[in-house]
Structures are given as structure tokens and as C-alpha cells.
Structure 1
Amino acid sequence: MSLLHEIAASGDIERLEDLLDQKNFNRDEKDDDWGGRTPLMWAVIGGHFRSVKILLEQEANPNLHNEEGKTAAHFAAESGRADILRLLIENGCDETVTDRHGSRPMDEALLYGNLQCAELLSQTMQGQINRRKRPSDWLDHFNDNKSDAGIKHLKKQRSMFLSTTYREHEERKRRRSGGSKQKR
């Protein structure tokens, strides 16, 4: 775990700002000791709203995932931090991304009984939350960092979400019509 990870996890705003002002720290660096978590993930896990805000202002990417496939939004939804989750959403996190077990942030919120987070995610999926950035804005960020793996990951997640949504839609439509149409 780097110094930036430790400071983000501690919530020490002054030291975080000083460190980020030095410009020689990778705000998106994944730790080697704790499953590839970024400083943003550590700030979210610690529940440090101001640290999360500072990291996002410094262009920390909310769509990076750890070794389990979890993003900062997964951690916010799991811990019930709707204030932090809203901040992530407003700054372009992809609320549809699934971890390697197939769980989305919505699944984490519901699993842990964090209904405020679940409601926020539902509103987001319905387009009711204003965003300063969209998840697709981060594709340029990946291009700037020459991360083909990151672009492929986002495209795969978006594709999986759209195909799942389509299958769910078709299944609901079939059930509403009384199941008269058989699956092909």
C-alpha cells in the first residue's frame, strides 16, 4: 500500500491535498497488498466524503475495478454511503458494472439492506440523477492512459448490461402476455 493509499484511507485531507499537489503520485494506482484497490476505493471504504471529492476533482477514475471486479460504487453501496455514491455517480461512475461474481452496486446495496443507496441507483438507471460526467467520458481517460484493457472492460460491461436488460425485458414481456410465446 502506497503513501497515497494510506492517506486516502485515513481521511487526512491536508496531507491528501499536499500529496496530490506534488503531481508525482498516480491517483489511480492499484495497491498490491489488498486486492488492487485504488486510493479512491480506500477513501470510499473509509467513508471519507471529502477525500473522495478531492480525488474525483483530481480526475481519479471511479470506474477502475479491483481484482474482484469491484468499483468504488460497489464499496459505497455495500457500506450504505449514499452521499458518496451520489458523488461517484455525478462524476461518471458506471452503476451497471458487475464484479466477477456478477454483482452490480445495486445488488450490493440490496444485499446489505442499504435501501437509500438502492433508491439512488434506481433513480440513476432511470436517468433522474444529473451527472457532471457520464461513464462514457472515462473512455477518453482510458485512451489518454493507453489502457486498452480498461476500454475493453468498459465496453464488455456495457454490452453485458444491455444484453441482460434486453433478456429481462423480453422475459417480462413474455410473462405479461401469459407466456403464449415460447422461447426460441
Structure 2
Amino acid sequence: MNKKGKEVLLPDETVMSKILLIRGKRVMIDKDLADLYCVPTKRLNEQVKRNLKRFPEDFMFQLTVEEKEEVVAKCDHLHALKFSPNMPYAFTEHGAVMLASALNSDRAIAVNIQIVRIFIRMREMILTHKDILLKIEQIEKRVSDHDEQMALVFEYVKQLLSSPQEPRVKIGFTRH
């Protein structure tokens, strides 16, 4: 149980590990979503086909052969897809929301809420990291300017040290 008294379905890390970057979008593969929703992948895809109007291209797309091979190579838990004759579907955050409404089970709704919250947290982390990266770039620019100025100072010091100095005339009171 969490602080609000609701049951935590899955560890956030488990859900996060199933979010992949394909075609520049953060997506989840149909097999992973089916596992999270505790339904067979075949049943999940049947519901998608029955409700195809709910899944435009920016919500869901089917992987190409190359993308499937890459996913199987990178994700050990998706190794079984290697032998599947079907190309898996990839669902964006919005596609996962639509999927929960198509499945319409309590588990699907609860897991979906968790998935959406994780996507939101990931987006916030990316924005935070962008701000940090901008600050680092600004500091690097300032420091690189300082490096050039320090190099110039060291060059002047070297010139002063290497140039022959004439004996200095002593000034002040002398004893007679």
C-alpha cells in the first residue's frame, strides 16, 4: 500500500524498463502492455483491431522487420518476439490510454494510470535535464573564455621571465 491507501500494482522501475525509444517516440510494445494488463497479447491486439478508429498513427504503429530485430536484440525480455510471424505494435503514451479504454478492465485502468504518471515524470525529468544542460553550456563558455585569458597571462609571465633583465639601479639612502 502507498501513502494514499491505494494498492501499488507494479514497481515504477518495471514499467519504466518497458518504455522504449522507437522512431523518436517513447513507446511500449504490445507484448509488454499485455503482460502489464494481464491479458494475452492476441486478445489485446484483437481489441485494438475492433477499435481501430481510436488508434491513429501518432497513438500506435506497427514495427518494421528491422525495428523488430533491433528491439529483440536490445531487450532480452522480448526475445520470444524473434520467432513470432507477426510484427508487434508500439503504443505511445496516448495509445496506452486508448488501450485501457478499449480493454475496460479495472486492472487495465489502474495500470494505465500508473503508466501515464511515469510518462509524465519522464517528461519532467527530460525538461529538468535540458535546463541543467543549458546551464552547463553557459558555464563552459565562461570557463573557456577564462582559459584563453589565463593562457594570455601565462604567456606574458613567460615573456617577462625569459627576457634578459638589466641590473637595477639601487635607490635610497646609502652609507658613507
The two structures have a TM-score, normalised by structure 1, of 0.30
Q: Which has the higher contact order (CA 8 A, sep 6+)?
A: 2
Of structures 1 and 2, the larger Rg is shown by: 2
Structure holding more helix per residue: 2
